[in-house]
């Protein structure tokens, strides 16, 4: 899951260790908060409430390792949910086909963004910011101010009841997604290419890698998976409105960055993302049990996001203190916001 | 050569002219499509609406110029509007200058926090401001305790401010708020063209490595950009308070998107170092004109707004990318293929051959 | 040795010297003259490594002092110490004889110390004039545009540079941008100017222009610290030459008292032939060897708009075809077209008798063409990735098992084979290539492309910026490959290298192939003339 022939292993390892420590601390905190915490229902609840974000986070890890970012995922989730809802509500399209169409629309949306970013060289931050606004608009156009529900029973139960024993669909999806993502990122050529592209896209192109194609496909996958996640979300909610899943991008990106994936691309592992997801879920859950308001929870997540990078920078400085004289590692210049500047470093 | 005629005008001026022409053209088109389009009411609505976004977008432009981004401006507007409103409620004797100063100070402090985190703690601005977007809002909610500030607690001069007019031509009023916003943006633009510090901000965005080499204080400039952005967002908060009177803890939510949109549509390059504040003002104007006009087209519902806005940003950034590639012949040709036009510090730029002899030697010029 | 005592007047931060300079002739004894800048016993450590070990150097006004040494000798660290980026752990820095702390770049700048690098540090969007004056503290807080343009024009004119101060710097070539940096240094009233491999990216013509500027700086009494790997340049331009090796000062001698052989010996600590020198073995000498039926590569009428025009040549298996010419003559552009980075607009490419249409690097790799880029940091290697990951990168598909996973054991075995074959020195195959020395990086890059099992190998400046010992190694391997039947294109700005290594030499000028010669029957002057003659 963590890839072997990769650099900065020690740094990544130390980061993962730190995350594990934090995780243990949050678990202890939660146990002290409430006796309910250790119950199996609460455990399942933990995943159920966030499975949509988690599967999007797995793809987001690839996007960020590649040195890009996709801010539009939450809006595309909304589009996915709304497409299904509208097709179900106002046409006679079979429901499974509606889901497929929704995923297809999401894929197309991602494809469009990927194309703009990769072929035209517009930073993905800006393109997907346009997507964040535009696709939310699309969701609103589809649903307007209605709330559409009344889905088939099996669909609703997808998000609500157990599939294998007490384990609900969402928990299974979570583990499958993380495991699959981890193997692909750490052990396959696809993953290796993501790291290289994230480190230096131009060099990747000079090595015969189809960088443009890779990124376009990655954004398309990101869109399709986001739309699918939106559909899952609709199943859990049982009804859909135009603003469904809005604002989710903050949590999703936090999960990935907290997991040790560098915003500059080129480093990170799925094990880190896995641990950080557990931390975020635990925190939300624990804070919820402690009756902390959702909005305050978001603020705390924000603090953690910033703190995680401060810590990581401190780690990196530690590493470079013994640097090689002739090949000093690239210091990040004081100001760069690589998302704005580097579609390609 | 097209590049030569370009350089006489400057890409920034050209962008401003293009935008002005686009605004004019869309006015003409809508004028033909919509009956009674050019009413005083429409003019006043657009100018009032644009005032807030224009100020916040100008601040955003400062930050984008330095290759950063500030996603927290919406929350800053909210905090500034809320706190200023509350203080005015408690101290109704305060005058307009004190109120504006307070709003700006609140914004500047929040911007300072962003700037320090970016410059001193060396965290990418997108992460910092994604975090403070949530944090500032949370702090506001905790502070405000979910109470709403209503117009009846505010001094009457403030409530009447949106209506106060400098002068009118027929139905067309030049509102104080609009004049204030435009005045601030234009004054800043002039200052930035003439002040050393302004040019250094451009230099920083143009090439951070070279700025460091040249001994510019990068940290100070970065912090300055964020403080400026925060201060302008604070001013935006004051305008927000004046315009709406009723302020909930969610005030200003989503404004960051409009501000970034205005800056980007206004031609501020997301690659840093290029673009103007007046450009962002035009960007805000164009967006507001479209917003206010599209809803009056019978074929479209108000739900189309976001979709159109997204599309507009997309078109603007694509145009910017295409233009940047065309008008930067000094950049290596081979990099133009995939990437954002070879802008990375210490890029391959110097090493790759600059494609052919057409450009070679011409610049050093006058050689035998 | 000429020492210039300057009396200068300062007008708008613009120094005028020239006629005012009084020239005094002194014996070449540095001890008698106060150096502008001296380092005494400077030591700099990074963790366990000692980058500089008690080194000393004196820079005199009006001298060009060249610093040479292999990569890792401590040159870059010395520059960083002088420009205030690093502070020494021990030792002292004397400016005009008095001990000085340089704790930041602006400290160094205020004392008149500036540096120019291989890649110009310019602001592409800003005008030439702004680039010159951006860091001036004494021009007030308010920009007077008219005066700034006028002053910039004046400085540029005083340096005989025909550059419009109003155009954005992005419109200049690399040479033009460097000229702007020199103008900037002059405007800052520079007393010590460090030039770190400034010629590496310049065409021969631009190098001449640069040397004229350096001569002017010397006349103005500036102390120039010049760093270059090109020994012919070093001998042309220097007054004194200092050699560093492994962070230690080895020697400082006036240029007339040192020979090239001695210099190389000082640099590597042993005798080395600078060039491996390929034994010329054209097929005629060994008739027993079967001749390949078709040419390995046949290029006809190849053109890329704005880069090169109508290029036609043939390359046989087992042959090394050298490409000589100035930077910008289109040599790299031909390589990029053959490798599919910038596909050709017109013309045909035939590989072993088959028409090849190459639109992207993958196409070229499919035809067995590999291209080793001239820029190993930016385009050649992924610095944070391991040696293994870099070597297998272009041929990753080969290591994919049926399940889709990478066969990492096999990757490691392949990398190990190359490590032994090419003598790559590294702690482990998992070491990030960014931690390797230049020479070992170059070898890793060579391994990366050899692992694609190319039939045609294009080498673009394969020995740029690597030390003399590694250079000989690389030459040896190239020769070996050709012997094994690989068709090799060798692009190099190092003319002696092209001469020594190639079977035939193609000369490029201004985007055209002006002739192909047997290397045995042509001398370097003829090639140079063909490359520059109008």
Residues C260 and C347 grouped into a single domain: no
Please report whether residue C27 resides in a domain.
Answer: no
Phi, then psi, of C508 in degrees rounded to 5? -110, 140
How far from each other are the two terminal CA atoms of chain C, in whole angstroms?
37
Please report whether residue B196 resides in a domain.
Answer: yes
Prediction ipTM score: 0.80
Q: What is the pLDDT of residue A160?
A: 60
C127 exposure class (CB count in 10 Å sphere: 0-12, 13-18, 19+): buried
Q: Cα distance from A157 to chain B (closest Cα, Å)?
A: 31
Distance in angstroms (rounded) separating the CA atoms of residues A225 and B37: 44
Interface of A with C in 172-191 (CB under 8 A): 183, 187-189
Q: Do C383 and A330 touch (CB under 8 A)?
A: yes
Segments forming the whole domain that contains residue B108: 7-339
Res. A332 pLDDT band, cuts 50 70 90: very low
Q: What is the pLDDT of residue A337?
A: 35
Q: What is the pLDDT of residue C478?
A: 92
Q: Cα distance from C28 to chain A (closest Cα, Å)?
A: 33
Residues C287 and C261 grouped into a single domain: no
Chain segment A141-191, per-residue pLDDT in tens: 888 878 887 778 777 776 565 556 666 777 788 888 999 999 999 999 999
Please report whether residue B350 resides in a domain.
Answer: no
**b/e sequence A57-76, b meaning 16+ C-beta within 10 Å:** bbbbbbbbbbbbbbbbbbbb
Q: What is the pLDDT of residue C277?
A: 58
Contacts of B43 (CB under 8 A, 6+ apart): B171, B172, B173
- Cβ(B235)–Cβ(B188) below 8 Å: no
Q: What is the pLDDT of residue C48?
A: 63
Return mean pLDDT, chain A. 80
Res. A102 pLDDT band, cuts 50 70 90: very high
Chain segment B136-151, per-residue pLDDT in tens: 998 998 888 778 888 8
Residues of chain C with pLDDT under 50: 1-31, 281-290, 292-293, 534
Please report whether residue C278 resides in a domain.
Answer: no
Res. B245 pLDDT band, cuts 50 70 90: confident
Residues C238 and C308 grouped into a single domain: no
Q: Do B330 and C172 touch (CB under 8 A)?
A: yes
Q: What is the pLDDT of residue C285?
A: 43
The residue with tokens 């919406």 is B74
- Whether residue A341 is predicted with pLDDT greater than 70 in this model: the reply is no
Q: Do A211 and B338 touch (CB under 8 A)?
A: yes
A122: nearest CB among B304, B310, B318: B318
Q: Do B337 and C121 touch (CB under 8 A)?
A: no
Q: Cα distance from B205 to chain A (closest Cα, Å)?
A: 9
Residue A165 forms contact with C (CB below 8 Å)? no
Helix (H) or strand (E) holding A94: none
Lowest mean pLDDT among A279-293, B129-143, B238-252: A279-293
Q: Do B355 and C119 touch (CB under 8 A)?
A: no
Q: What is the pLDDT of residue A263?
A: 82
Distance in angstroms (rounded) separating the CA atoms of residues C372 and C460: 6
Q: Do B68 and A212 touch (CB under 8 A)?
A: no
Residues C350 and C248 grouped into a single domain: no
Domain end marker among C209, C239, C268: C268
Could you tell me how far CA C125 lies from the centroid of its own chain? 26
Residues C241 and C116 grouped into a single domain: yes
Residue C375 forms contact with B (CB below 8 Å)? yes
Q: How many CB pairs under 8 A join B and C?
A: 168
Lowest mean pLDDT among A100-104, B208-212, C288-292, C450-454: C288-292
In chain A, the residue whose alpha carbon lies closest to the alpha carbon of B71 is A129
Provide the CATH number for the domain around residue B327.
Answer: 1.10.3470
For chain A, percent of residues with pLDDT exceeding 90 = 33
Interface of B with C in 202-221 (CB under 8 A): 202-203, 205-207, 209-216
Q: Cα distance from B265 to chain A (closest Cα, Å)?
A: 11
Q: What is the pLDDT of residue C101?
A: 85
Q: Do B308 and A121 touch (CB under 8 A)?
A: no
Q: Do C106 and B329 touch (CB under 8 A)?
A: no
Chain segment B100-137, per-residue pLDDT in tens: 999 999 999 999 999 999 998 888 888 899 889 989 99
Please report whether residue B2 resides in a domain.
Answer: no
Residues C325 and C242 grouped into a single domain: no
Interface of B with C in 322-351 (CB under 8 A): 328-331, 333-334, 337, 343, 346-351
Q: Do C406 and A187 touch (CB under 8 A)?
A: yes
Residue B50 forms contact with A (CB below 8 Å)? no
Res. A8 pLDDT band, cuts 50 70 90: very low
- The dihedral through the CA atoms of A6, A8, A13, A18 has a sign that is negative
Q: Do C162 and B364 touch (CB under 8 A)?
A: yes
The residue with tokens 């001469």 is C499
Please report whether residue B344 resides in a domain.
Answer: no
3-state secondary structure (DSSP) of residue C269: coil
Provide the CATH number for the domain around residue C375.
Answer: 3.40.50.300
Return mean pLDDT, chain C. 82
Please report whether residue C3 resides in a domain.
Answer: no
Please report whether residue B65 resides in a domain.
Answer: yes
Distance in angstroms (rounded) separating the CA atoms of residues C414 and A206: 21
Contacts of C64 (CB under 8 A, 6+ apart): C214, C218, C224, C226, C237, C238, C239, C240
The full DSSP string for C195-207 is EESTTTT--HHHH
Q: What is the pLDDT of residue B213?
A: 77
C201: nearest CB among B3, B350, B364: B350
C51: nearest CB among A8, A209, A325: A325
Domain end marker among C213, C236, C268: C268
Region B276-302: mean pLDDT is 83
Q: Do A298 and B138 touch (CB under 8 A)?
A: yes
Please report whether residue B116 resides in a domain.
Answer: yes
Please report whether residue B89 resides in a domain.
Answer: yes
Residues C475 and C339 grouped into a single domain: yes
Domain end marker among C224, C239, C268: C268
Distance in angstroms (rounded) separating the CA atoms of residues A235 and A230: 9
Strands C113-116 and C192-196 turn out to be: parallel
Q: What is the pLDDT of residue B148?
A: 84
Q: At what angle do helices A248-258 and A270-289 cross, to 10 degrees?
A: 130
Give CA angle at C244 (C238, C245), nearest 5°: 145
Res. B361 pLDDT band, cuts 50 70 90: very low
Segments forming the whole domain that contains residue C92: 34-268
What CATH number should be reported for the domain whose range is A50-316?
Answer: 1.10.3470
Number of domains comprising chain B: 1
Region B209-216: mean pLDDT is 81
Q: What is the pLDDT of residue A40?
A: 64
Q: Where are the domains of chain A?
A: 50-316
Please report whether residue B139 resides in a domain.
Answer: yes
Number of domains comprising chain C: 2
């Amino acid at each position: 899951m963590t890839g072997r022939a990769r650099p900065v292993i020690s740094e990544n390892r130390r980061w993962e260790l730190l995350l594990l420590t934090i995780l243990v601390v949050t678990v202890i905190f939660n146990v002290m908060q409430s006796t309910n915490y250790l119950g199996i229902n609460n455990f399942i609840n933990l995943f159920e409430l966030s499975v949509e974000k988690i599967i999007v986070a797995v793809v987001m890890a690839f996007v960020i390792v590649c040195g890009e970012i996709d801010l539009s995922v939450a809006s595309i989730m909304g589009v996915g949910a709304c497409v299904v809802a509208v097709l179900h509500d106002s046409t006679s399209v079979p429901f499974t086909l509606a889901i497929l169409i929704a995923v297809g629309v999401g894929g197309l949306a991602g494809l469009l963004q990927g194309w703009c970013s990769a072929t035209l060289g517009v930073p993905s931050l800006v393109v997907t910011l346009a997507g964040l606004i535009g696709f939310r608009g699309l969701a609103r156009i589809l649903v307007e101010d209605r709330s559409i529900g009344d889905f088939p029973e099996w669909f609703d139960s997808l998000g609500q009841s157990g599939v294998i024993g007490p384990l609900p669909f969402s928990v299974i999806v979570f583990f499958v997604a993380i495991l699959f993502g981890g193997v692909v990122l750490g052990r396959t050529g696809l993953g290796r290419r993501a790291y290289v592209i994230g480190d230096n896209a131009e060099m990747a192109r000079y090595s015969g890698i189809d960088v443009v194609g890779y990124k376009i496909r990655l954004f398309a996958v990101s869109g399709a998976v986001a739309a699918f996640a939106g559909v899952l979300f609709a199943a859990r909610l049982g009804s859909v409105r135009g603003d469904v899943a809005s604002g989710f991008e903050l949590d999703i990106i936090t999960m990935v960055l907290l997991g040790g994936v560098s915003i500059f691309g080129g480093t990170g592992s799925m094990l880190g993302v896995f641990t950080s997801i557990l931390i975020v879920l635990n925190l939300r859950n624990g804070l919820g049990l402690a009756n902390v308001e959702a909005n305050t929870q978001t603020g705390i997540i924000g603090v953690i996001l910033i703190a995680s990078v401060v810590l990581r920078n401190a780690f990196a400085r530690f590493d470079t203190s013994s640097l090689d004289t002739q090949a000093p590692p690239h210091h990040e210049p004081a100001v760069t916001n690589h998302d704005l500047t580097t579609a390609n470093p | 050569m097209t590049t030569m005629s370009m350089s006489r005008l400057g890409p920034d001026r050209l962008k401003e002219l293009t935008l002005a022409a686009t605004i004019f053209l869309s006015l003409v088109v809508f004028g033909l499509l919509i009956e009674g389009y050019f009413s005083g009411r429409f003019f006043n609505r657009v100018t009032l609406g644009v005032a807030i976004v224009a100020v916040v977008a100008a601040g955003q432009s400062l930050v984008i110029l330095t290759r950063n981004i500030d996603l927290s401006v919406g929350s800053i507007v909210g905090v500034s509007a809320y706190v200023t409103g509350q203080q005015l409620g408690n101290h109704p004797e305060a005058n307009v200058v004190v109120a504006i100063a307070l709003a700006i100070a609140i914004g500047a402090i929040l911007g300072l926090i962003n700037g320090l985190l970016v410059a001193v703690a060396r965290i990418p601005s997108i992460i910092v401001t994604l975090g403070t977007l949530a944090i500032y809002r949370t702090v506001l909610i905790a502070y405000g305790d979910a109470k709403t500030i209503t117009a009846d607690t505010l001094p009457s001069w403030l409530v009447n401010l949106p209506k106060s007019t400098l002068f009118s031509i027929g139905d067309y009023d030049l509102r104080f708020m609009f004049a204030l916003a435009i005045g601030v943006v234009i004054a800043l633009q002039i200052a930035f063209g003439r002040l050393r510090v302004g040019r250094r901000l451009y230099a920083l965005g143009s090439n951070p490595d070279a700025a460091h080499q040249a001994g510019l204080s990068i940290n100070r400039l970065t912090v300055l950009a964020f403080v400026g952005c925060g201060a302008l967002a604070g001013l935006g908060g004051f305008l927000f308070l004046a315009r709406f009177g009723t302020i909930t803890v969610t005030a200003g939510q989503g404004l960051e998107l409009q501000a970034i949109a205005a800056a980007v549509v206004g031609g501020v390059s997301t690659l840093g170092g290029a673009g103007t504040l007046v450009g962002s003002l035009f960007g805000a104007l164009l967006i507001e004109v479209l917003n206010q006009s599209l809803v009056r087209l019978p074929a479209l519902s108000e739900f189309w707004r976001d979709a159109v806005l997204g599309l507009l940003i997309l078109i603007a950034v694509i145009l910017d990318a295409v233009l940047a590639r065309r008008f930067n012949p000094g950049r290596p040709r081979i990099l133009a293929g995939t990437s954002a036009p070879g802008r990375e510090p210490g890029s391959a730029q110097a090493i790759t051959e600059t494609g052919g002899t057409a450009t070679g030697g011409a610049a050093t010029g006058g050689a035998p | 040795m000429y020492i210039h005592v300057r009396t200068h007047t300062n007008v708008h931060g613009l120094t005028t010297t020239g006629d005012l300079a009084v020239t005094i002739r002194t014996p070449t004894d540095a001890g008698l003259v106060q150096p502008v800048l001296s380092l005494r016993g400077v030591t700099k450590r990074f963790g366990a490594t000692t980058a500089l070990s008690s080194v000393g150097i004196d820079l005199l006004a009006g001298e060009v002092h060249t610093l040479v040494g292999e990569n890792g000798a401590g040159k870059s660290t010395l520059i960083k110490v002088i420009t205030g980026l690093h502070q020494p752990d021990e030792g002292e820095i004397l400016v005009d004889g008095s001990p000085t702390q340089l704790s930041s770049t602006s400290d160094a700048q205020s004392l008149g110390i500036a540096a120019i690098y291989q890649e110009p540090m310019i602001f592409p969007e800003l005008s030439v004039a702004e680039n010159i004056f951006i860091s001036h503290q004494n021009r007030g807080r308010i920009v007077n545009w008219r005066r700034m343009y006028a002053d910039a024009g004046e400085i540029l004119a005083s340096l005989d540079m025909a550059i419009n101060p109003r155009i954005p710097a992005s419109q200049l070539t690399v040479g033009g941008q460097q000229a702007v940096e020199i103008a900037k240094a002059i405007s800052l009233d520079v007393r010590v100017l460090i030039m770190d491999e400034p010629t590496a990216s310049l065409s021969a013509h631009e190098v001449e222009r640069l040397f004229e500027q350096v001569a002017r700086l010397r006349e103005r009494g500036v102390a120039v610290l010049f760093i270059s790997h090109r020994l012919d340049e070093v001998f042309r331009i220097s007054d004194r030459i200092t050699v560093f090796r492994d962070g230690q000062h080895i020697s400082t001698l006036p240029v007339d008292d040192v020979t090239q052989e001695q210099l190389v010996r000082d640099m590597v600590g042993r005798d080395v032939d600078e060039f491996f020198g390929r034994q010329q073995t054209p097929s005629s000498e060994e008739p027993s060897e079967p001749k390949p039926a078709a040419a390995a590569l046949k290029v006809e009428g190849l053109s890329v708009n704005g880069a090169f025009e109508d290029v036609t040549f043939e390359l046989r298996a087992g042959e090394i075809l050298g490409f000589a010419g100035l930077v910008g003559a289109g040599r790299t552009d031909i390589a990029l077209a053959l490798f599919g980075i910038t596909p050709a607009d017109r013309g045909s490419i035939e590989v072993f008798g088959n028409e090849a249409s190459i639109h992207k690097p993958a196409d070229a790799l499919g035809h067995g063409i590999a291209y080793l880029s001239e820029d190993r940091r930016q385009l050649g290697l992924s610095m944070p990735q391991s040696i293994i990951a870099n070597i297998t990168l272009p041929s990753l598909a080969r290591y994919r098992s049926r399940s889709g996973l990478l066969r990492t054991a096999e990757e490691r075995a392949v990398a190990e084979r190359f490590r032994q074959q090419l003598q790559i020195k590294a702690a482990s195959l998992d070491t990030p290539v960014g931690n390797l020395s230049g020479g070992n990086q170059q070898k890793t890059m060579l391994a990366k492309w050899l692992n694609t099992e190319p039939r045609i190998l294009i080498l673009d400046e394969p020995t740029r910026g690597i030390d003399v010992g590694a250079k000989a190694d690389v030459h040896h391997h190239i020769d070996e490959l050709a012997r094994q039947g690989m068709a090799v294109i060798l692009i190099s700005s190092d003319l002696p290298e092209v001469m020594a290594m190639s079977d035939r030499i193609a000369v490029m000028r201004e985007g055209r192939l002006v002739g192909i010669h047997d290397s045995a029957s042509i001398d370097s002057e003829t090639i140079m003339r063909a490359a520059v003659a109008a």
